[in-house]
Amino acid sequence: MQPVKQASQRGGLAALSVGGEGVVEDRARFASHCAGDFAYLPRMQPTLTGGLIWYFVLLYSTVLHEAAHAWAAKKLGDDTAYRGGQVSLDPIPHIMREPFGMVILPILSYMYNGWMMGFASAPYDPHWALRFPKRSATMAMAGPAANLLLATVAFVLLVAGAKAGKFVPMMVQEGTDVWALIGMMLFVMFMLNTVLMVFNLLPLPPLDGSSIPLFFLQGSKAEQYQHFIWQPHIAFIGMAVAFYGGGEVVWRVFYKVYGLLVHMAY
């Protein structure tokens, strides 16, 4: 049996574009968003440079997320993903498993919106998951933990770069030099991984957050819950709710964290 990790589809990614005459005005504008207003995410004009930056960050953020799932599973007794070559930062095994989510969808979404979305997956043994539900839940949490790590690194570097006057902590940079490109890449890395982490922690199947109850359920209750969330129609409903109802939650959290970044940077 070739199992498929049910909680590994990755969700939408977005970018924001800001105009303005200076850092002070931009800071005030974003601080108001972070105070609680859900911000509108406009369609951005796609560019070759922007597309390359977006794809590089999306590719390795997704690869690290799935590699973290695979590594945690191997450490906890399931080597299914390891045997598939996914305990690796090499993107090829991940692309071969999900070519549409890792190549085609990112390109199409960027051409249409100016920002990218995509998904990937990692296989696991459902019999192992049923036998060790808490280990399965730990494996599920490893992916968002990887995104948290990347978002934190980007957060720290954005603050440091802004304080040093090298770039501004936003998508649109004031300039076209190498520091502006670095600033854009770090912002995409911060935004994308924050959104991925929060989105995947929504407690809806097939997202990673749906495994959180397994830390508390025992015996037959845990097994019944797993069989429930693995049902295809339940996963379909969960994704529909996540995309159409979870977006506001995700972006409200992002802007709260971004508000902290802005206030630390200036």
**Each residue of 89-130: pLDDT tens digit?**
999 999 999 999 999 999 999 998 888 999 999 999 999 999
- Identify whether the C-beta of residue 64 lies closer than 8 Å to the C-beta of residue 146: yes
User: Cα separation of 170 and 33, whole Å?
Assistant: 14
**Residue 148 CB coordination number (10 Å):** 17
Match 């589809």 to its residue by tokens. 9
- Identify whether the C-beta of residue 175 lies closer than 8 Å to the C-beta of residue 168: no
What is the helix, strand, coil percentage profile of the chain, to 5?
A: 65, 0, 35
Tell whether the model's pLDDT for residue 10 goes beyond 80.
no
Backbone angles phi, psi at 7, to 5 degrees: -100, 30
Question: What pTM does this model have?
Answer: 0.84
142 dihedral zone (left: phi>0; alpha: psi -120 to 50; beta)? alpha
Q: Tell me which of 21, 66, 223, 248 is the catalytic residue.
A: 66
Catalytic (active site) residue 66: yes
User: Cα separation of 85 and 90, whole Å?
Assistant: 9
